[in-house]
Structure 1
Amino acid sequence: MTSIIKIAAVTSFFFSAYGQAFSQDSPLSATYDCRKATSSVKIDGAVNDKAWQDAAWTPYFIDIEGDKRPAPYYKTRMKMLWDEKGLYIFAELEEPHLQGTITKHDAVIFQDNDFEVFIDPDNDELNYYEIEVNTLNTIWDLMLSKPYRKGGKPDNSWTATGLKTAVKLNGTLNNPADTDKGWSVEMMIPWKAFKENRVPAINEIWKMNFSRVQWDFEVKDGKYVKKKDPESGKELPEYNWVWSNMGVINMHIPESWGKVTFVE
């Protein structure tokens, strides 16, 4: 199943801890050389275009708290490209139980399993962007003037004009009777979607991070439902698996994001 939508920008997250994060120059922050595409990229949720052959995969995602927590039990990795039109992102997510329910744009997408993008073009930790997408290709795009811990609030009025996304499912959605292989997300975020509205210079660095939200589900009456703590009756907390180590359960620490360098 493949679905394609023109949409908007970057993801949300939870912040149950505000402990010491890694500094801006931490050697633990991930880095990535984003190569310029040498040919066109079709946004269809697949990685078949010739241009993608030149893009390196990231290492598999780690837990948001790094070595404090066990390694993710499903694999996630991604790759990136750029050209004069925009930024291209492809993510591959291993998942034996494909789940998705949210269909409303700008809903709280991370209540489903999802993939999330965070971008700070000028690296000032202000006015940064977030895009979330679930298996139904439903998008939440928003901008934050500053991190939540500093009084920032999500601005859902921001829309990534011209954004294209596609999701491809390798299995069947919301069917506990079978075992799936996973899903992939492909997107192109135009430079004009950002308020900065400019093409990055060669060797320019942008702070970014990428995340996967994963909930524990069980099957009841033939449907996926989130597992609950048997004592409190509350839903078990989600897992947060990321590209660049945050050290705490809080994606909204832009100074701790990884560094993406735009190269030829």
Structure 2
Amino acid sequence: MRRFVFVACALALAACSRDPGGGKPEQQAGGTGAKSAPGEDPRRVIKEITVKAISSGETITIDGKLDEPAWAKATETGPFVDVASGAVNPRIPVQGNARLLWDDQFLYVAFDVKDTTIRGGFPTDALDPHLWERDTVEVMIDPDGDGDNKDYYEIQVNPQNLVFDSQFDDYNRPRGGNAGPFGHQDWSAGLTSAVVLRGTIDADEDKDEGYTVEARIPWKSFAKAKASPPAPGDAWRMNFYAMQNNGGVAWSPILGMGNFHKAARFGRVKWVRE
């Protein structure tokens, strides 16, 4: 989120760039969505998914367990990919995928992250800590669906269930320098989130498996959106990342065309009802 300078990621962290004010590692995610045809420039291909609304009468408890029937029917991104190449890259030490649901009041997002060394390390009362410096998941949201980087949002949740959230007027802007603030950090997503760990945070003596993040975000938080909640048939531009040490993997690859804030490389998320 906050790193706008490209970071040369070592070894498995392929070409990940983050900015000191809303940047993100440059990686990509696989799974459902558009694929390039033979001979087609992959930079012209935009991933797409369709997300169904929760059925009437179904509820979701935000506890990080993802055990409700609604989650079993949720739209999945498929495995996240290397941001630079657009391919699944098992050498990158963090892997993940995401699921999406919605109703008239909320956007629901769930991440399943594979990580053998879960890191937190922030004060439990930290406000907008720089979560991308260790382990975190991230959602980037450009509600207008045009990929122009105007009025977009960034939300991160880490294994401690700490949150970084901010709103940007334009690509990586406003930006207060390498230490921030990154965007309008006074903006709040107003989300409810929960995390379940499969391992021990900040403990090197054991091998972790990863963690799950479950979040519920009120549509009303996206005040810059043309329509919030979206109408059935609307498409927003979004991207999803699983990160470690300012690098990681994503749903939609950036392919060297910018940093993690590059809305033109976000995938299209179309909202529909049953």
Percent identity, aligned pairs only, is: 29
* Structure 1 residue 69 displacement after superposition: 9.4
1:34-87 per-residue CA deviation (whole Å, 9 max, x = no partner) reads 111121111111110111111132221111112589553443011100001110
1:131-173 per-residue CA deviation (whole Å, 9 max, x = no partner) reads 111110111110010012xx53311011123x10111101111
Aligned residue number for residue 28 of structure 1: 45
Q: 2:153 aligns with which of 111, 129, 132?
A: 129
Matched, 1:247 2:232: no
Query: Residue 244 of structure 2 aligns to which amino acid in structure 1?
Result: Q
Aligned residue number for residue 256 of structure 1: 265
Contact 2:94 2:248 in 1 (8 A): no
Q: 1:61 aligns with which of 51, 75, 80?
A: 80
Aligned residue number for residue 189 of structure 1: 217
1:74-124 per-residue CA deviation (whole Å, 9 max, x = no partner) reads 430111000011100000001122111123121211111111110011134
Contact 2:153 2:167 in 1 (8 A): yes
Q: Unaligned stretches of 5+ in structure 1?
A: 1-10, 20-24, 216-237
Matched, 1:113 2:135: yes
For residues 12 and 260 of structure 1, do their structure 2 counterparts lie closer, same or farther at Cα, with a shift above 3 Å needed?
Answer: farther
Q: Unaligned stretches of 5+ in structure 2?
A: 7-16, 20-25, 27-41, 176-182
Query: Residue 106 of structure 2 aligns to which amino acid in structure 1?
Result: G
Q: 1:79 aligns with which of 76, 99, 105?
A: 99
Which whole-Å CA distance do the structure 2 matches of 1:51 and 1:89 have between them? 12
Matched, 1:170 2:198: yes
Contact 1:100 1:113 in 2 (8 A): yes
Which whole-Å CA distance do the structure 2 matches of 1:45 and 1:253 have between them? 29
Contact 2:155 2:164 in 1 (8 A): yes
Which whole-Å CA distance do the structure 1 matches of 2:214 and 2:106 have between them? 13
Secondary structure, in 3 states, of the residue corresponding to 1:155? coil
Secondary structure, in 3 states, of the residue corresponding to 2:75? coil
Aligned residue number for residue 7 of structure 1: none
Secondary structure, in 3 states, of the residue corresponding to 1:251? coil
Which whole-Å CA distance do the structure 1 matches of 2:82 and 2:170 have between them? 24
Which whole-Å CA distance do the structure 2 matches of 1:245 and 1:14 have between them? 17
TM-score (norm 1): 0.78
For residues 89 and 68 of structure 1, do their structure 2 counterparts lie closer, same or farther at Cα, with a shift above 3 Å needed?
Answer: closer
Which whole-Å CA distance do the structure 2 matches of 1:253 and 1:97 have between them? 28
Query: Residue 37 of structure 1 aligns to which amino acid in structure 2?
Result: I
For residues 81 and 110 of structure 1, do their structure 2 counterparts lie closer, same or farther at Cα, with a shift above 3 Å needed?
Answer: same
Matched, 1:156 2:175: no
Which whole-Å CA distance do the structure 1 matches of 2:43 and 2:132 have between them? 28
User: Aligned-pair RMSD on alpha carbons?
Assistant: 2.3
Which whole-Å CA distance do the structure 1 matches of 2:259 and 2:88 have between them? 14
Which whole-Å CA distance do the structure 2 matches of 1:144 and 1:56 have between them? 27
For residues 26 and 260 of structure 1, do their structure 2 counterparts lie closer, same or farther at Cα, with a shift above 3 Å needed?
Answer: farther
Which whole-Å CA distance do the structure 1 matches of 2:200 and 2:189 have between them? 29
Q: 2:54 aligns with which of 20, 23, 37?
A: 37
Query: Residue 193 of structure 1 aligns to which amino acid in structure 2?
Result: S
Decide which structure has greater strand share.
1
Which whole-Å CA distance do the structure 2 matches of 1:90 and 1:106 have between them? 20
Which whole-Å CA distance do the structure 1 matches of 2:272 and 2:54 have between them? 10
TM-score (norm 2): 0.75
* Structure 1 residue 192 displacement after superposition: 0.8
* Structure 1 residue 26 displacement after superposition: 5.2
